[in-house]
């Protein structure tokens, strides 16, 4: 836009007030300054915009055409300012979070519920994809933050805050799979296994641990979603590998038998990952609440 914003603002007041004196009074400037600005705008546009009469000024046809555009533009400016103010006041907005379904269900859900009680105007978009896909979305500003288990690797300068350390377990439906005799992790090879997808962070840690035990697990079923794994275990399809909290939060948890070993299985570090420069006011506030009771770095 080549024309000064203030010239159009003065034009709007002149059009609506039909008076140079009233416009000058409302804008707290002198009448000569208003007249000079009007003349400047007319020179730039190449049209006469107002005729003087006994009552004040009257807009020309060109001024009426111009007003329809300029008033719309100023309404958009006003709406944009109000929108930004509402964003900053957390009256509106959307927080986009990438997280695996099991972390979203048992860990993240109560934070979202508590946040919505304080800021009911904020919406949430939850995306459940592979860790690598979510990192790509974070890097391209399609996500505000990721809540997932380590490792989470990015080419960009990201902030990682450990939120909790959670134990994992193997579990099965004891009412259906009754002949289970497992003492060592190597014994798992003798039973049908339901495991997280091979490229998920929780599975990568498990495979690394099993390799240290000179054991390789070959599942009969792999899944990205914990809900599918739980349902398969519930139906007796096989032994599943879960974050312990997933089993603890099932309404029929008494039907699940958690296998215990002499050695501890890998724990997972639930981590909040974000790019500080990309955070909106709403997502920054959510991160602040989420990480307030963090456990270590």
Structural domain boundaries in the chain: 5-74, 93-164+269-290, 165-268
Which of 10, 76, 73 has the alpha carbon at shortest distance from 37?
10
Contacts (Cβ under 8 Å, ≥6 apart) of 297 = 161, 162
Q: Does the pLDDT of residue 251 top 80, yes or no? A: yes
21-61 pLDDT tens trace: 999 998 999 999 999 999 999 999 999 999 988 888 999 99
Percent of the chain clearing pLDDT 90 (strictly above): 43
* Residue whose token pair is 């190597």: 186
Q: Which CATH architecture has domain 165-268?
A: 3-Layer(aba) Sandwich (3.40)
Judging by beta carbons within 10 Å of its beta carbon (0-12, 13-18, 19+), is residue 71 exposed, middle or buried? middle
Residue 238 Cα distances to 8, 190, 200, angstroms: 72, 11, 20
Q: Is the pLDDT of residue 191 over 90?
A: yes
265, pLDDT greater than 80: yes
Report the pLDDT value the prediction gives residue 286, as an integer from 0 to 100. 93
Joined tokens for residue 97 = 């979070």
294 pLDDT above the threshold of 70: no
% helix / strand / coil in the chain, to the nearest 5?
A: 45, 20, 30
Which listed CATH number (1.10.10.10, 1.10.3720.10, 3.40.50.740, 3.30.70.1060) goes with 5-74? Answer: 1.10.10.10
- Taking 60 as the threshold, does the pLDDT of residue 296 lie above it? no
Q: Please report which confidence band the pLDDT of residue 2 belongs to, taking 50, 70 and 90 as the band edges.
A: low
pLDDT above 70 as % of the chain: 96
3-state secondary structure of 60: coil
CB of 99 closer than 8 Å to CB of 138: no
Q: Check residues 236 and 250 and name the one with the higher pLDDT.
A: 236
Q: For 97-131, how does the pLDDT look when each residue is reduced to its tens digit (9 = 90+)? A: 999 877 887 788 889 998 999 999 889 999 988 88
For domain 93-164+269-290, is the CATH number 3.40.190.10? yes
CA dist 42 and 217 (Å) reads 80
* Dihedral in degrees, nearest 10, Cα atoms 164, 165, 170, 175: -40
Say if residues 279 and 95 touch (Cβ distance below 8 Å).
no
pLDDT at 170 over 90: yes
Structure tokens belonging to residue 87: 């964003």
Average pLDDT, the chain: 87
Domains 93-164+269-290 and 165-268 equal at CATH topology level:
yes
Is the pLDDT confidence value at 295 over 70?
no
Which residues, including other chains, have CB under 8 Å from residue 266's CB and lie 6 or more apart? Answer: 168, 205, 206, 208, 209
What residues form DSSP beta bridges with 146? 98, 273
Q: What is the pLDDT of residue 293?
A: 60
Dist. CA 11–CA 38, nearest whole Å? 7
**Is 0.75 topped by the overall pTM?**
no
């Amino acid at each position: 836009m080549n024309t000064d914003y203030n010239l159009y603002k003065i034009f709007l007041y002149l059009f609506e007030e039909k008076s140079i004196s009233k416009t000058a009074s409302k804008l707290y400037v002198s009448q000569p300054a208003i007249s000079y600005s009007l003349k400047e705008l007319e020179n730039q546009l190449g049209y006469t915009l107002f005729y003087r009469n006994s009552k004040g000024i009257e807009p020309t046809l060109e001024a009426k055409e111009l007003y329809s555009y300029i008033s719309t533009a100023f309404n958009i400016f006003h709406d944009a300012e109000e929108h930004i103010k509402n964003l900053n006041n957390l009256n509106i907005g959307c927080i986009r979070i990438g997280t695996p379904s099991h972390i979203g269900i048992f860990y993240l859900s109560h934070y979202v519920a508590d946040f919505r009680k304080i800021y009911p105007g904020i919406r949430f978009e939850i995306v459940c994809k592979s860790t690598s896909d979510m990192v790509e979305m974070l890097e391209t500003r399609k996500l505000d933050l990721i809540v997932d288990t380590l490792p989470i690797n990015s080419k960009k300068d990201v902030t990682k805050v450990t939120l909790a350390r959670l134990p994992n377990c193997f579990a099965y439906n004891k009412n259906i799979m009754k002949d289970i005799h497992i003492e060592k992790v190597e014994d798992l090879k003798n039973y049908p296994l339901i495991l997280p997808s091979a490229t998920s962070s929780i599975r990568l840690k498990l495979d690394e641990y099993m390799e240290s035990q000179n054991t390789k697990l070959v599942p009969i079923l792999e899944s990205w979603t914990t809900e599918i794994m739980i349902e398969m275990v519930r139906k007796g399809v096989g032994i599943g590998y879960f974050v312990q909290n997933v089993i603890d939060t099932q309404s029929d948890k008494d039907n699940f038998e958690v296998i215990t070993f002499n050695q501890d299985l890998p724990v997972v570090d639930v981590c909040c990952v974000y790019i500080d420069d990309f955070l909106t006011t709403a997502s920054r506030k959510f991160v602040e609440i989420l990480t307030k009771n963090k456990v270590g770095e």
